[in-house]
Structures are given as structure tokens and as C-alpha cells.
A and B are shown apart, each in its own frame.
Chain A
Amino acid sequence: MAKGLDVGTMNIICAEKGKSDSIVFAQQRNAFLKMEAGDLAQNMLDTSKILYTHQNDTINVLGEDAFKFANVFNKPIRRPMRQGIISPDEKESIPMIKLIIERVLNKAEKDGELLTISVPASPVDSNINVLYHSKTVEALSKKLGYKTTLIDEGLAVVYSELGDQNFTGVGISVGAGMTNITVAYLATPIVSFSIARGGDWIDEQVASATGVAIERVTSIKENDFTFNSEYEIGSIQGAIALYYDALITYIIEHLKRKLEEAAPPDAEFPVAIAGGSSRAKGFLEMFEKRITEANLSINISKVKKTQYASSGAKDPVYAIARGCLISSITRENAEKAESEEVNKTKNEENK
């Protein structure tokens, strides 16, 4: 069965087709916390069914629980990925990512099962090279028995959210480490690039400006922040709003510059925004306001909420994994159709 995998700086999410007309998502936080090993601690973690790894005299608590423990013990979270790619500063990045991927993806039911993974496009504002990250993630999935294809994160958003517009439009994924943008026309990317800024950049800037710990800023940003609210000078929310606005302006400025280099066709381009950092209430309205003011060289028809965001309870963070799943299913159907055609021709020849 075809699957889609979103390997993000904050979350690793797998999407697969459910038994009925549904999609099943498996999500795990891409983070861990280093703790001292001890029998008591290990027993406690085992009883609570918390995921961890044991290495010599240290324990690495994985996923969502790592955040909970970080708040309790006031320890910094460790992240296997930074700015959208495998972190070169973290020695245990690859084993941790491998464990999380194995956990959410599972082994392929049959060899050669189709999988599409989202990877960041080349950044325009940094000398980060995404090749090593892409090839490593691909290798990890192949090891599990999958036949893997990589697509740009922005294109995954287009596949997921712009089906009604014939896959024409701008797909933007505002993630934790990076922002990925793809302008596509009839499912073909015209412009695809990334920006080495995302939610983490906002957290870092706010923490450095206000002197509050990054973890606390992240928590306020995710749970207690809305655009269009009036905040007092010096408040953390005010600083978050300020840096969100700076990020949006920065994204649109780069999009404008890139579009000037390309020659997009004369068509209507809706914008679809996904990614964890676009969850803030009022983000889309703010984005719509700024993109209207930018006077881009393409005709922006509307700024579209992701399908899951509009349904209320669900999260726009799933859109990328969903886009990857759509890509895998399409490939699967195409391969099926091709083999049927070959069989048909063979049968006709035999007759």
C-alpha cells in the first residue's frame, strides 16, 4: 500500500490510506531529551510506556514525552534536525531519526511498496545543501523495503491542497526549521525554493529579544497566541506577532524576487499554506493582507486554508504528508495501469 512521509524539523508524520475512505496519520515529535540512566527512572518510563533508548549511562527520551520532561526538569530539548535538514551538530541525529521513521512508517508489507518523502528545496538565503539530508532519509526508508521517491515540500502542499485548481497555485509550507515554497502550473513546478527561517527562527528571536527561555516562547506561540490582538509593549505575544509579521514579509519578498526571475503563465494562482508554524490564529488573514500589498507578478486569486484547518479539529501540519500520499497513490495507479496495458497487449498478441 502506498504511503507518504513528511520528515520535518519538528514532526515526522506518515500518511497511509485507511480501510474505508480515510487517511491514517502516524505522528511523532522529532526531538529527544538526554537523561541520566538509573533503574528507578527506567522502571518508571517502562511503566508509563514512554519511548526511550538506553546507551551506557544515559537515557534518550523520544518524541512528545521529551517536551514534557524538558519542562519538568528544565532541560533543553535536543533536535536531530535543524533548519529543515539533519543537524550536523547533533551526534545522535541519524540513529534518532532512524528510530522515529521506523516507528511511524513500519516495515513495508511487501518489497517495493511505494513511498513518497517530502524534502526541502534548496534555500535561497543560506548555503545549506539539502542533498545529504535527502539521500540519508531516502536510504533509511529503502532499508525498510520501500521504493522511495522524493518531492519538494512545497509541491506536496500543492498536491494536497490545490486539487480543485488543477494543481495550479502556490504551495507554502511554514515549518519549524524552514519555509518551503513551490509555484506550480498544472502540477509542474515553475519555481521551487526554501527559506532557512521558520517557527524556530521566531522562537529564537523572541527569546533573545525578551530574555525568556525558548521552550516557553514555543509553548506560548503554540497555545496562547492570536494575530490581530492588541498586546502590550514588552509582552511575549507582542514580540511573537512582530516576528511572525517579519517572517511573512520575508517569505513574500523572496517569492516576489523568484517570480521576477521566472516567466509564470497568465493564470490565476491560489495560495495554499500548510505547516506547523501556520497554525497561529489569524496567520492566514495576515498572510493574505501582506501578499495583496506585495503586488506580485502573478495573479493571486485567494489564500486558501488547508483542508484540515478548515474542518476545525485537525491540523495543517498533516497537509505535507497527505500530499506525499497523493503522489504515491498516483504513482501506484499509473504503474498498475501500465502493467494492465502491457498484459492487455500481450493477450492481444497471443490471440
Chain B
Amino acid sequence: MDLKLRYYLGSMVFLSGLIISIAGIGFGIFVNLMWTSDPIEIMTTYSLVGIGFSLTLLGINLMISKQRPYGLYSNIAMVTGFILSIAGVIYFLMIFQDNWVYPYATYLVILYASGISLLSGNAFANAVLRVIGEPSENLSTSSSNKNYSLEDIEKEVEKTLSQSYSTNNTNFSSFDLGVKEDDTSFVPCKTFKSTQQERIEVEDFISEAKNLQTTMTGKVETGDYGLELTTKMLSETMKEKERDQNKSIFNKFKTKFNNKRK
């Protein structure tokens, strides 16, 4: 069967089992079930709860059936468990009214308990096997399925290199290339020493340097004594107010605590 279909079927079975169980419990509450209740009421309640519980476990088994390592044995255990538990319910319906005595009741308990044990044990074992298998499965798929292009590899190398050589965010010390003294066979002419490089002077206030500092640091340097003094005073006032507020919050808390103690 298609795995997806099996999963949805499992969900449906699980849900129907849950509804039947709830219906059984609901019925029992509705009829106010007790030892002295009508046998039909007892039989209806317990058979509904019994079938519902078996269906719920069967649904769980079907849902976790994906990639079961022991597929065939697991299926046999699941089907046997379900048949045994349902047989238990049917046997209960048969004996309850006339033969609810030893050893029939014991047979019933053995039948139903073995069915439920098989279903729950099978579900548990599959879940455990799946949990154990998942990490290795993830590792193998992530390494084999992801194909890196040459561009990806180069980008990664570039990124790693630039990170390791950046001066800001690295623990590595900077790597500096050394420069050898000039090769004697390579002689610069006299003009190199006798003349200076021609230079062009352009009128420019370079106001961007100050703006750049402001943008990067968020601080404004005024150089105005009055303005700086006022800013300092304002800052002090704000700090004082904050301290007062903190004090009043603490006092409120203290008063509340004392009131409660009283």
C-alpha cells in the first residue's frame, strides 16, 4: 500500500477508535453505569470502550508504519493483536450474561490483554527503532543529496577567508606579508629621487568626514560650551528622575508586601 495512503488510513482508524472510546465512556456516564446496572448497558459500554481502544492502537500502528525495519513481522503482530483484542470483546459479549465466572473471565482477560499488548508493544518497538534510525538517516541524506556547485564552494571559501582576515570579528591574529628589500638588478632612474610627484590641489572642505563619524557613532560633537552644559544637565535630570521612579516602584512593592504579611 502507498505509504501516504496508509498514513491517512491510520489517522482515520485512530480518530474513529478515539471517537468510539469516548462514545463508550459517554454512554457509561449517561446511563450512570454501576455493578447493578442492566447487563445490556454494561455490555454496550465495555464493548464500545474495548473496540475503541483496539482501533486507537491499530491506528497508531498504521501511522508509524513508514520504513519499518521488520515490516512483515510487524504487520503480522499488528493484525494478530487487533484480531485477539476484537475476539476478546466478542467473547466478552458472549459470556457476560450467563458465564461471567472463572475460568471464562480469565480466558477473556488473557485474550484481550494479549491483543492489546501486541498492538501497543508493536507500536512502541517501531517508534523506538525509528528514533534510533533517524540521526544516521539524516546524516547520510544530508551528505549525499546536497550537491554544491563550483560557485557555491568558491563563495564559501571566499567568505571564510574574508571572515578570518577581517580585523573586527575574528580571534585570529592578522597575517602580514613581509616585503623584501629591492632587487639590486632593478635600478630606478635619477628622476625618482630628484623630482617630486606632480600634485593637484582641489578646494574641498571634506565635510563628509564629520558626517560619517556622526552616522557611524550616532554622537554629535558640537564644541558649543552652552549646548554641552545644557545637555549634561538634562541628562543628569533624566537620570535623577529615573532613580526616583525606581525608588517609588520599590516602595510600592515594599508596601504591598508588608500589607500582605499583615
Residue ranges of A at the interface with B (Cβ–Cβ < 8 Å): 17-18, 20-28, 42, 45-46, 49-56, 92, 95, 98-99, 103-104, 106, 122, 127, 129, 131, 135-136, 138-140, 142-143, 149, 159-160, 163, 166-167, 186-187, 307-308, 314, 318, 322, 325-327, 329-330, 333-334, 337
Residue-wise, chain B 130-152 has the 8 Å CB interface mask toward A (1 for contact) of 00000000000000000000100
| B44 proximal to A (CB < 8 A) | no
Complex contacts, B186 vs chain A, CB 8 Å: 53, 55, 92, 95
Complex contacts, A49 vs chain B, CB 8 Å: 191, 194-195
Q: How far is the CA of A139 from the CA of B179 in the complex (A)?
A: 7
> Total contacts A to B, CB within 8 angstroms?
137
Q: How far is the CA of A95 from the CA of B187 in the complex (A)?
A: 11
Nearest 10 interchain pairs by C-beta: A163-B208, A139-B177, A329-B209, A143-B179, A23-B204, A330-B212, A54-B187, A26-B197, A25-B200, A187-B215
- Please give the distance in Å from A18's CB to the nearest CB on chain B: 5
- Please give the distance in Å from B199's CB to the nearest CB on chain A: 5
Q: How far is the CA of A27 from the CA of B201 in the complex (A)?
A: 12
| B189 proximal to A (CB < 8 A) | yes
Q: Is the CB of B161 within 8 A of A23?
A: no
Contact (A17, B216) CB under 8 Å given A24-B200, A136-B177: no
Q: Is the CB of A51 within 8 A of B189?
A: yes
Complex contacts, A26 vs chain B, CB 8 Å: 197-200
Q: How far is the CA of A49 from the CA of B191 in the complex (A)?
A: 6
| B158 proximal to A (CB < 8 A) | yes
Complex contacts, A28 vs chain B, CB 8 Å: 197
Contact (A186, B215) CB under 8 Å given A127-B154, A163-B207, A329-B206: yes
Which residues of B, 168-192, contact A by the 8 Å Cβ criterion? 175-179, 182-183, 185-192
Q: How far is the CA of A307 from the CA of B161 in the complex (A)?
A: 35
Q: Is the CB of A334 within 8 A of B189?
A: no
Q: Is the CB of A330 within 8 A of B188?
A: no
Partner of A166 from the list B150, B165, B211 (CB cut-off 8 Å) is B211
Partner of A54 from the list B176, B189, B198, B221 (CB cut-off 8 Å) is B189
Contact (A50, B191) CB under 8 Å given A18-B201, A136-B177, A167-B215: yes
Complex contacts, A167 vs chain B, CB 8 Å: 211-212, 215
- Most chain A CB atoms below 10 A, which of B165, B176, B186, B190: B186
| B203 proximal to A (CB < 8 A) | yes
Q: Is the CB of B208 within 8 A of A160?
A: yes
Q: How far is the CA of A18 from the CA of B203 in the complex (A)?
A: 9
- Please give the distance in Å from B109's CB to the nearest CB on chain A: 65
Q: How far is the CA of A129 from the CA of B158 in the complex (A)?
A: 8
| B251 proximal to A (CB < 8 A) | no
Partner of B212 from the list A25, A27, A98, A159 (CB cut-off 8 Å) is A159
Q: How far is the CA of A20 from the CA of B186 in the complex (A)?
A: 39
Complex contacts, A327 vs chain B, CB 8 Å: 212
Report 27 cross-chain contacts, Cβ distance below 8 Å, ordered by A residue: A17-B206, A23-B204, A24-B202, A25-B199, A25-B202, A28-B197, A45-B189, A46-B190, A49-B194, A51-B189, A52-B188, A52-B191, A53-B187, A55-B185, A127-B154, A129-B158, A131-B165, A135-B177, A139-B179, A140-B179, A160-B208, A322-B206, A326-B208, A327-B212, A330-B212, A334-B213, A337-B221
Q: Is the CB of A21 within 8 A of B191?
A: no
Q: How far is the CA of A140 from the CA of B194 in the complex (A)?
A: 22
| B205 proximal to A (CB < 8 A) | yes
Contact (A135, B197) CB under 8 Å given A51-B189, A159-B208, A166-B215: no
Q: Is the CB of A325 within 8 A of B202?
A: no
| B217 proximal to A (CB < 8 A) | yes
Q: How far is the CA of A53 from the CA of B183 in the complex (A)?
A: 12
Q: Is the CB of A23 within 8 A of B215?
A: no
- Please give the distance in Å from A327's CB to the nearest CB on chain B: 7
Q: How far is the CA of A18 from the CA of B217 in the complex (A)?
A: 26
Complex contacts, A45 vs chain B, CB 8 Å: 189, 191
Complex contacts, B188 vs chain A, CB 8 Å: 51-54, 99
Contact (A22, B178) CB under 8 Å given A54-B187, A330-B213: no
Q: How far is the CA of A100 from the CA of B38 in the complex (A)?
A: 109
- Please give the distance in Å from B212's CB to the nearest CB on chain A: 5
Closest to B213 in A: A330
Partner of A139 from the list B178, B197, B203 (CB cut-off 8 Å) is B178
- Please give the distance in Å from B198's CB to the nearest CB on chain A: 7
Complex contacts, A308 vs chain B, CB 8 Å: 202
Contacts A21-B205, A329-B206 known; 5 new A-B pairs at CB < 8 A: A122-B155, A167-B215, A308-B202, A318-B202, A327-B212
- Most chain A CB atoms below 10 A, which of B176, B200, B217: B200
Closest to B192 in A: A51
Q: Is the CB of A325 within 8 A of B206?
A: yes
Complex contacts, A143 vs chain B, CB 8 Å: 179
Q: How far is the CA of A255 from the CA of B38 in the complex (A)?
A: 82
Complex contacts, B155 vs chain A, CB 8 Å: 122
Which residues of B, 106-131, contact A by the 8 Å Cβ criterion? none
